[in-house]
Structure 1
Amino acid sequence: MAPAPEQPPLQLGSQQLSAVLERNWDFSAEFAARKVDSATGTISAIDPTCNSNNVENRAFTECNQAFLRATVASPHLTQWGSTSSARRFVDQAAESTASRPHGTAPGSTWPQHMDIRADTSYNDACRARNASCPLLWVTFATMCRVGTNRLASSLEQLGIPLAALGMGTLWKNRWGYRMRALHDLLLHEPDERLVVWSDSEDVIPAPYATPDRILKQYRSLVQLQGGPRIFFPAEFACYPIRKLENVYPDPTKLPFSLGNTPFYFLNAGLMVGPAGLIRRMIEVVYQDDCFDDQLAYTLAFLDPLKWWMSQSRVVQVGSSTKQVVPTDAKPLIGLDYWNGLLMAMYALPNKDYVVDAASKKLTIKATGGSPLLMHQNGGKTENRILEILSKEFGYDYEADTLEALRKSGGVYRLATSQQREGGAGDA
């Protein structure tokens, strides 16, 4: 259980953050405008060659067809991306957003102010990648590994359209670069489209995470928390700056609390929200190409950023501490503390997960939540929960890894609800 912050404040501002970080973070609309190219709408790169001396040493796996079908040209290929591999991936991409005029969106059937609602009729539209699908999953990968291919295949099975950015570029720990890539892709998406953004190698959807169920759970989060439109999973550990622990609110004392939870802190491996709001948020919080994205979103959550709609219905995003904010403005960012939609799996032991033997529904004992989208953040040397769940869900998994766990006496499968009722524990 994460320690509860001392006297947790419910209203946070940049002065309190500055006392912790000894830096004044500017989240004003004026600051955001200075970073956006007025001609193209793209974010102007700050320090694009940072970490250029880092060594790339990750193992490469051939990309499967599901991933290749999802690959799009990065909205901007840096000098590191002018390689034959970049052209190869771009040529095989099913659709390149780079060919679209600035400010336009695919298809012509999208209503101007479409409500994001849960409706099973959307499942067929999403499976067909029709423009009327209100959901898009976006990931970033500079090379394929087992988990990358698994994510693409599982989403294709569920009928969730995927756009994969990053191929043809080098990673070099450029977290801010991938924020820019997402922002510039979203210039070509309707503002109202619900976007799921995720890491690529260590994220899976549940096998019942159909588009309509994702939409329904997203709406439930919005209604529960009464305002936020962009959600991240809450996690057990405060990263990357541990001393921010006491600046976070205590979720058990929030007005909409559902009770105890060990998950207090923002994790950036998953994000769900409308395309227009995510795009505007990135314009505000982007610092440079190597600035940690989890820190950027954490500072935005704690500031807090606000959102509202002007008379012209244009989304505005700004800081409550840097400018005059309308009285009806709402917090922009919320955390899924009770795993209704999102799950960050770091530091949660395998015994705290239960899978229903018949439906394969996953339940988190600590919260009672059944997440649809899961990210195993952090180290994976001992706990291989994502491989265990992938086998339970019928996805590709690292068989050698689970066999090694079995031989060593480690947990290589989870307790099912039937085993628990019968008194049996983990294998």
Structure 2
Amino acid sequence: MPEHPWRGTANRCDFLRLAVQWRARVFRGGTRNRKICHAPYGSDRIRRVMAFREVVGHRRLLTLLSRAIARDSLTPSLVFSGPEGVGKRLTAISIAQALNCTSVAQGPSVAQGFSPAPALAIDACGVCAACRRVGRDTHPDVQMIEPGETGAIKIEQVRAAIERAVYRPFEGRKRVTIIDQADALVGAAQNALLKTLEEPLPASVFILVSSRPDTLLPTVRSRCAQLRFGRLQLAEVAEVLERRQRYSHTDALAAAAASDGSVRRALDLETGDFADARSDAEDLLHAAGRDPRTRLEHAKGLLKGGGTPSEEREHLGVRLQALISVLRDLGLLASGADERLLANLDRRPALDALSRTLGGDRVARAFAAVTRAHDALESNVSPKVVADWLVLNVH
């Protein structure tokens, strides 16, 4: 196995640092074995009612945005950054609705959606013809720019969007251009945006949505107000799944446990698969103190057995994700963190038992070993070799 810079880490502060770095890598797209669904949170997989009150989490940002719209002081050039699947695109569409709704609600009359709800100064009604057309992406004054078949947003798309934005709104109050996955903008397309972002067009708003804002040119970022969206809490992800996707409470908690605060990631994972993977992960950790031969027997549970190479790789990849999730929670328990931060809160008794058995130092070493195993799997090392190495090094 290749040497890893985190090898030998064994204290709680370092463990938490490892957890943060692992999570950052996951949401930069470094998990090849993760099933990918290209429908983002707030698109076709979730009912398109895009009012602010329907956005879960982000109370401070939603309050700030609604007040700016109510005062007609919304910054015309915005960058929404943060992990995938936390509501950036949905919020951008909510802005388009609020700016063009024909029956806008203000102050105390604003209906509340998810709880706890932000203190909204203004919100779209969500039911008028303008709101419905924004939700269906058919409103003449709202345009959504997305990557094409090549996975890039080309300069021709940006030029066409700017040309449309020059004109006064056709029927609404503002023209809104949303560039989703703005990190896919080619260099020439970003340069084409510079003048528009620096000298905003009258009655026009540009919103760039990106999970990797560092890929945007510094000259683009400097011309925009940047709003950072954080990860959602476990309860918030579960609430979205229950209310919008009709998950059972148990399934919603299981999917949320694997989501790391992203609704999109929760939707990408098969709930049953992750529940099985988490069970295998707990079995492996319970066997950590046994003799090597017994631990090698547990390597079989990490492998599918009889599957194709890609199926074996995917099967092991999900179990490594489950191990990371469980070990992260064990590290949080060892550090005395608030239990609301736990991803696997529905497994609290099992976590408590493992925490007593392993202790903080062993959890940190196990976390580093699982991370190395994941890196090896990403580097095309045989799943069996990875599984065998892992069970011998989690002890």
> Please, what TM-score do these two structures have when normalized by structure 1?
0.25
**Rg comparison, structure with higher value:** 2
Larger relative strand fraction: 1
> Please, what TM-score do these two structures have when normalized by structure 2?
0.26
